[in-house]
Chains A and B, each alone.
Chain A
Amino acid sequence: MGEQLQPFLEVKELKKSFGHIEALKGASLQAKCGEVLAIVGDNGAGKSTLIKTLSGVLTPDSGSIIVDGKEYGHLTPKLAGDNGISTVYQDLSLVNTQTVWENIFLGHEYRNFGWLNKKKMRREAAELLNNLNISIHNHEEIVGNLSGGQRQAIAVARAIHHGGKMIILDEPTAAMGLRETAATQQLIKNLAVQGYGVIIISHNIQQVFELSDRICVMRQGQVLALVDTKSVTSDDIVSMIVSGTSLNGAIQ
């Protein structure tokens, strides 16, 4: 699975410095629809910087980003969104005081002659959550009263509703309990099966192996390795993250 087509997203030789610190020193990467790509690396390896250039929050100094065949020097949040790249931030960006369906439509509300079309939003929210196999009992509930897993699911549903084809998840299960983690992992697998691309950043190696089709190891601002998950062991990955070489000394 996932070997078909050309990559939906391709990153070429991205460089980005903050003052004299080089956060990205020419990182390259491809991500396809229908697969889960995990980005791993130690703190300061450049994972967050890379993700932020993909979501358009940061402008790279050089390099290019190719989305669906179109090449860009840099993206803006709007451009990224219009091209189907959607980032779910760690804080989820949900309005805790509003309902499930209001959050899904936040900033993209349906209107009928200027009036909010609540009926249509309620119906479509229900359809969307149903399609994604997300079970929430009461869509009138305010999001602040829901569990971490449900909140994550709503943030993902919103990303997809806003036209996301490539969903970027930053530490999706950080600070979650066992059951919630399991539910979120199931959701991520479902997304890939339904043909969405998923990029996750995770520090949890076991989870990376559980979920991903490919692993991208970052180290000191560069992509050290981009490997099929099936072809490596978790010890290999840990070794690459820590020392920069795999156990048998070879990379890629």
Chain B
Amino acid sequence: MKNSISTPNNIVRTAIRRSFPQILLTAVLIIMIIGLSVSSEFFFTWKNFRNILDQCSVYLLLSLGMTFVIASGGIDLSVGSIAGMSGVIMAVLMKAGMPVLPAVLLGILSGVLTGIINGALISYLKLFPFITTLATMTITRGIALVLTGGVSIYGFSQSFKWWGTGTIGPINPPIAISLLFTIIAAIIMSRTLWGKYSLAIGGNAEALRRSGVNVKGYRISIYAVSSLCAAIAGLIMTARLNSAAPLAGSGYEMDAIAAVVLGGGSLNGGSGAILGTFIACFTLSVLRNGLTMLAIPTYYQQLITGVIILLAIIIAEARNRREKESE
């Protein structure tokens, strides 16, 4: 056969070649787990593993939405602030006497609306995602500050706190929600038109438009999904701490962006993998957990995390470049 085409062998080989960032990351994760298990007897226990997943859940939710945004060639700086604002709106409504469920739903809706506004500004006014979401980041943070008067709102009913501290069998709602969302996101990314178009918009939006696809609509829905994830992260944050702080979630967008890029996403758009994002989030959480266990002071932890992120990105980038030149 002169056309060797899409044989199963080809599919697998190409997939492995393209998964280099994720494979590298997994190797780093395994080495870290082995090292930490040797140095601390408390590390390799179910209790600690559950703790890591719990710590990871909020970042993971933000990163899942961010994966689609970055795949589409955009960026969403507003997710941390949206998480904060949604939590504050839930808190304000509940304090005003609204039952838990409608308060939570309205809080999430406020977040999704912000995402739709982000997407509409970017699609219809052709504004840069960076500057658009920087503005909405500031606006949503401002709304949270205005609603709270700058003071945390705390003390909620048991049924609300369940979302952060309850138990579902061996795990808790934050872990359950974040893992469920990971699975759904992975299926959407690889099996649906929506996932494929998120990647295609980042690859060549004009080509997709010429093929008759409603690119504007898809782009708006991508930012809406990102903010939906952020609002649910806001629910978990607020319920876990039993407190809605006006500055909750500040800077979380940066962790989410770092996780997506570590997991194989490119800020040029066109690439992004849910499994990679998940492994990256988990690795960063293991790293933080391990550094704490090794009793390394918090200030150093920040420094070490930053250096590791930088190294990982340099290695992945160098490899990308080499592959391009060899072809």
Contact = CB atoms under 8 A, between A and B. Distances in A.
Interface of A: 77-78, 81, 89, 93-98, 101-102, 106-109, 111, 114-116, 122-123, 125-126, 129-130, 135-141, 145
B212 A96 contact: no
Contacts, number: 86
B5 A139 contact: yes
B200 A106 contact: yes
Given A95-B204, A95-B208, A130 B3 contact: yes
Contacts of A116: 191-193, 196
A164 to B, nearest CB: 13
Given A93-B210, A130-B3, A98 B199 contact: yes
B211 interface: yes
* Leading 10 A-B pairs by shortest Cβ distance: A107-B211, A97-B270, A95-B203, A97-B203, A93-B207, A140-B14, A122-B6, A126-B5, A139-B6, A95-B204
Given A102-B196, A130-B3, 6 more contacts: A96-B203, A96-B204, A97-B202, A97-B269, A106-B200, A116-B192
Contacts of B226: none
Contact of A107 (B14, B15, B208): B208
20 contacts: A93-B204, A93-B210, A94-B207, A96-B204, A101-B6, A106-B207, A106-B208, A106-B211, A109-B193, A109-B196, A122-B5, A123-B6, A125-B5, A125-B6, A126-B6, A139-B10, A140-B6, A140-B14, A140-B15, A141-B14
Contacts of A107: 208, 211-213
A151 B271 CA distance: 20
B191 A115 contact: yes
Contacts of A136: 3
Contacts of B213: 107
Contacts of A123: 6
Contacts of B199: 97-98
A188 to B, nearest CB: 20
B202 to A, nearest CB: 7
A135 B3 contact: yes
Nearest to A134: B3
Nearest to A111: B193
A58 B166 CA distance: 61
Interface in B189-229: 191-193, 196, 199-200, 202-204, 206-208, 210-213
A139 B208 CA distance: 20
B3 A126 contact: yes
Q: Classify the interface of chain A: helix, strand, loop or mixed.
A: loop
- Greatest chain B CB density within 10 A among A81, A115, A122, A138 is at A138
A98 B270 CA distance: 8
B196 to A, nearest CB: 6
Contacts of B192: 114-116
Contact of A78 (B4, B5, B208, B212): B212
B10 A138 contact: yes
Given A106-B208, A107-B211, A135-B3, A96 B270 contact: yes
B4 A138 contact: yes
A81 B210 CA distance: 11
Nearest to B202: A97
B2 interface: yes
Contacts of B4: 137-138
Nearest to B191: A115
A162 to B, nearest CB: 8
Interface in B270-305: 270-271
B327 interface: yes
A221 B2 CA distance: 46
Nearest to A87: B210
A127 B4 CA distance: 12
A215 B11 CA distance: 44
- Greatest chain B CB density within 10 A among A106, A108, A123, A130 is at A106
Nearest to B1: A130
B303 to A, nearest CB: 34
A136 B5 CA distance: 7
Contacts of A96: 203-204, 270
Interface in B1-40: 2-6, 10-11, 14-15
B5 A145 contact: no
Nearest to B201: A95
Interface in B176-195: 191-193
A108 B154 CA distance: 52
Contacts of B210: 77, 89, 93
Interface string B251-281: 0000000000000000001110000000000
Contacts of A137: 3-4
A94 B210 CA distance: 10
Nearest to A145: B327
